[in-house]
Structure 1
């Protein structure tokens, strides 16, 4: 975190609310629709949590209409770390950052929590 900041530089990190997600361990996200070039698509994720509760395998599904009105499926896969606010704050502290604080969606209008810190 620290090596890319100039002295006095501002760090902003956004993340999913993993404190709650690690507790609840959801299996999926709600489907969302999007439109590109006049064509709509449907996107959702399936999550398979690892036993350690800190990581999950993510499958991102995108349903796309073709020219015949049929749907085709595109899938992307990855593994994500579900780092809590405490873990990220500890990393920022270990990196020597100062003024570490969290802002929540209700206060910022942004849909995810935001970690804010400064390089000394």
Structure 2
């Protein structure tokens, strides 16, 4: 089990506190749940930005949502950040703006590159992370994956089929996260 990390994941903890109330909530990342599958022991399972689209492309989304549901105690929360790219597939942009974190010598830049399938139903994603090294930038991490474009209706249907209740979409303005958050309750 892990606890949410600072920055973007901090929003998951804030949402959990708003719904569950203050306390020492047991969190786990969905990837950890898939590796361990602790039944009924967690208060919150969370999934970061690109995990659900990647699992959908790998035909593993339904099984992952079912595993998340089983790992949660009754009343526990599933919280996922999901990019809504279904409206962009017509335009097929090649990249979002770079994301900059830190200051001075600690500054890092994360760049995403998108390579869309002809039908617009999926895209390749390359994530490059650069960090300052003296007066130059150095590539410190590169990851490539393939993702399926999933709609809000598909997220809701998947969560409902996995047995979740009270499925809700929070806008970035409501949650403070740069992407919409999907929140669902384990009955």
Instruction: Tell me the TM-score normalised to structure 2 length.
Output: 0.54
Q: Is the contact between residue 105 and residue 132 of structure 2 (CA under 8 Å) also seen in structure 1? A: no
Asked if the contact 2:159/2:167 (under 8 Å) is kept, the reply is: yes
Q: For the residues of structure 2 that align with 1:108 and 1:44, how far apart are their CA atoms? A: 24
Cα separation, 2, equivalents of 1:112 and 1:79? 19
Which residues in structure 2 correspond to 1:1-120 (within 5 Å)? 1=65, 2-35=69-102, 38-67=105-134, 69-74=135-140, 75-120=142-187
The 2-side partners of 1:9 and 1:65 are apart by 41
Q: Which SS does the other structure have where 1:90 is aligned?
A: helix
1:80 is displaced (CA, Å) by 1.9
Higher RCO (CA < 8 A, seq sep 6+): 1
Give me the CA root mean square deviation. Answer: 2.3
Deviations 1:66-120 (A, max 9, x none): 44x3444453211122221111101011112111121111222221111111122
CA distance in 1, matches of 2:132, 2:186: 47
Return the offset for 1:37. 8.1
Unpaired segments ≥5 residues, structure 1:
none
The structure carrying a bigger helix percent of its residues is 2
What 5-or-longer segments of structure 2 have no aligned partner? 1-64
Which one has a bigger Cα radius of gyration?
Answer: 1
CA contact (8 A) 1:18 1:85 kept: no
